[in-house]
Chains A and B, each alone.
Chain A
């Protein structure tokens, strides 16, 4: 995983609450056995009209949104299924961070694992960003992971919370599996001292 320090980029606002992972990537795109090409299915039902042409009204399809790397969306982003294909698709499309007033637990956990930064902002800041974007669809933000701040288009800085361990892993490009593998002795000790409730191999 690539280390993340700061992310500066153009933002696009998708002002919808409770966006579920079936919207982010519908199930029919989950038949792949790798992670590539998932951007094609990102927000598929909203991005395209029934005849298959791009929906000009969908925020991601507007010309100003080209090259956006930060997605701003309503609260409870990523609810629904546990599919990691959702953050994979967002990342494959080019997003590096998602800002929302809140995230569903599994989506947040999945996003952190792959280096798509979930940034929780206050509802009032979100409302302001929606208004700013209406005036300036080219608006850019800077997210500083080390300082845990977002610099808004008007220069104000707001803080955001992140778990210390996830932050460390993202800043250093360390993946969490490596950390777990280093616990092998402790895991073996646990196994030796706890009976096994079930054995699937019969």
Chain B
């Protein structure tokens, strides 16, 4: 009998071109490399300077998402880009993909979208694969039982040229989430609670495997929300063992195997889950049944509280360093310690990003907009994760619900998640955002971000103040 292995170990072992030694890291083969306009141009420059080609354009796919505007199409059906630097970056990606034979979902394409939304929706993301992208939220794809992580631009060049990466084997961490979520509590609340409990550095050096009753009962889109924010917990990758929910999601998607090939793939995928008796280096736990909707009050994703809790007070912190960090965060956020966030006025609500911009997120949000109006003075941006999500939402009439309520229904992209395109939160203004980072200035210089679920964001949009979504549910 061979030694019991974890899901991660099985995927890792199957991709070793060369195992690691004390002197050299492992050479790890990459099955899918996703690229976008921001972190790839310098890698292509490097390739040209060295006279190298892209080894496997057929394992590479480009999309445009970060610096793209999400303004509605003009009368010609074109999304106008006006920022000259964004234009040059997008042009560069188009040129690089054309020159090296890499397929590209460019702005305006019916498949364009946020890189971590399109991989799964196209059926490109499959169990047991290795997937990388010059973007830290590549961890999203781990929801399918793939080993997926973000890389830097030098490494983007490595993968373009060799389809491989040099990697030291990370440690494994089981993240056990038992119980069932109560009404109004979502996958986003699970991951915000986990990071609040263990901190933003708690997963450094580890690959998370999420398991337990709560995870099993989640849909693929919900699992993606959780894996997406593994990096906010410090873990470069987060994985969920594939099961029938996974296989059903993949079946019939454009790049999924078909017919007998699909059956054969499923048989292979069924061998991936962690073996009985396999050992993890570390374990974290959380009980889903006790969770409430979560919201962040500070300037890193670990600074989160249940929505009805008061903002922590510096004097209650265990040591001087965390006191200083809290002081700094509250000064930036303009929040008073000891006071509840509930009822705090907000200026902007952003529903979007690779964490929460899929169809199920938009459906959840829409339920609070239906028959209601956006509160006066609040700007609400609803940004689908991809053109496909946008079309699917429109087919159900979700766009009309948002627009009739007074929210903006925009084109697909990263939008206000990162303050790189035109969608920003103004200085000093408060935003409730379904994205993943509340860092200082993340959504624009001086922007004050509170991270929450689509339900909490939508409830807040229609009341104008931080609102517990459970109070709007009947």
A binding-site residues for B, Cβ under 8 Å: 15-18, 20, 22-23, 26-28, 30-35, 45, 50, 74-76, 79-85, 87, 102, 104-106, 109-110, 113-114, 163-165, 168, 176-177, 179-181, 183-184, 186-187, 190-191, 194, 196-202
Contacts and interface: CB of A to CB of B under 8 A. Distances in A.
B330 interface: no
Contact of B134 (A45, A82, A104, A113): A82
Q: Size range of the interface on B?
A: 35 or more
B19 to A, nearest CB: 11
Given A20-B300, A104-B204, A165-B25, A30 B38 contact: yes
Given A18-B325, A82-B134, A186-B18, A198 B200 contact: no
A201 B54 CA distance: 14
Q: Which 7 A-B pairs have the closest CB atoms?
A: A110-B152, A31-B85, A84-B152, A27-B420, A82-B150, A33-B41, A113-B154
Given A16-B328, A84-B152, A198-B32, A176 B61 contact: no
B124 interface: yes
B103 A201 contact: yes
Contact of B151 (A27, A82, A202): A82
A33 B234 contact: no
B126 A198 contact: yes
A138 B39 CA distance: 36
Contacts of B201: 18, 75-76, 79, 102, 104
Interface of B: 14, 17-18, 22-25, 27, 29, 31-32, 38-39, 41-42, 45-46, 50, 52, 55, 57-61, 66-67, 83, 85-86, 88-89, 92, 101-103, 123-124, 126, 128-129, 134-136, 150-155, 157-158, 161-164, 166, 168, 170, 200-201, 204-205, 231, 234, 236, 255, 265, 300, 302, 321, 324-325, 328, 418-420, 427, 437, 439-442, 445-446
Contact of B29 (A87, A102, A190): A190
Nearest to B85: A31
B29 A23 contact: no
Nearest to B418: A27
Contacts of B418: 22, 27, 81
A199 B60 CA distance: 8
A187 B29 contact: yes
B264 to A, nearest CB: 10
A200 B61 contact: yes
Contacts of B88: 31, 33
